[in-house]
Structure 1
Amino acid sequence: MTWALSLIYSTFGSEEEARRVAKTLLQEKLIACANHFAPIMSQYEFQGAFHEDQEFPVLLKTSEELVKPAAERLRALHSYDTPAIVHWAASADNADYEKWLFDQLKTPLR
């Protein structure tokens, strides 16, 4: 099976929630790695009201094959009614890193 690298981006209302959700996804082998970034300020309109909130962004590394189940699980674990869950294809320039990443993930062959 050939795997393709994908990234999933999401934001959370607290650092604790971001860590808890990422840890669950790691333990369930839906992602191989989670990169937590410094808090950001998000400005948006939701349900007719303007919001300006501090959020905690996380970049989740997985395979293209696991994007859908990872995103579905992320949505189920997320406290937001409408969480930002965005994904895109990526490539790794380090074959050893890519092998390590895919070895961390749930596969149908294991």
Structure 2
Amino acid sequence: MTGSLSLIYSTFGSEEEARDVAKTLLLEKLIACANHFPAILSQYEYQGKFHEDREFPVLFKTAPELVKPAGERLLGLHSFDTPAVLHWQVEASNPGYEKWLLGQLIKPPR
């Protein structure tokens, strides 16, 4: 199994926003797939205040060379002032799935 895929994780303030952002990234072929998870409870301190909010997590699947443009686009679309946009490299994946996923993406200039 090869490892030429990347994952991007973020959370959103509403399910609608999560769906809209994912759809935009899919249509622009910056990602090939978005997995939406049920709402979670996030607890954090921001600007000196404690927050406890319901958020909607999404896992975006893409190629390593598209992480930067996909992440920048995600930041531009996101409604949060300081959204979590986390990335990690996939170490191994099913070769057939990887071939399909990479085939769904734009081909970035080299």
TM-score over 0.5 for the alignment? yes
SS of the counterpart of 2:79?
A: coil
Aligned to 2:95: 95
Shift of 1:92: 4.1
Divergent runs of 4+, >2 A: none
* TM-score normalised to structure 1 length: 0.93
Alpha-carbon displacement from aligned partner over 1:30-54 (angstroms, at most 9, x marks no partner): 0000000000000000000000000
Give the letter aligned to residue 55 of structure 1: E
Aligned to 2:7: 7
Give the letter aligned to residue 54 of structure 1: R
Unaligned runs of 5+ in 2: none
Aligned to 2:58: 58
Give the alignment of 1:1-110 within 5 angstroms: 4-108=4-108
RMSD: 1.3
Shift of 1:91: 3.6
Number of aligned positions between the proteins: 107
* TM-score normalised to structure 2 length: 0.93
- Identical positions, percent: 72
Partners of 2:19 and 2:91 lie apart in 1 by 25
Partners of 1:91 and 1:58 lie apart in 2 by 20
Q: Is the 8 A contact 2:31 2:105 kept in 1?
A: yes
Shift of 1:93: 3.1
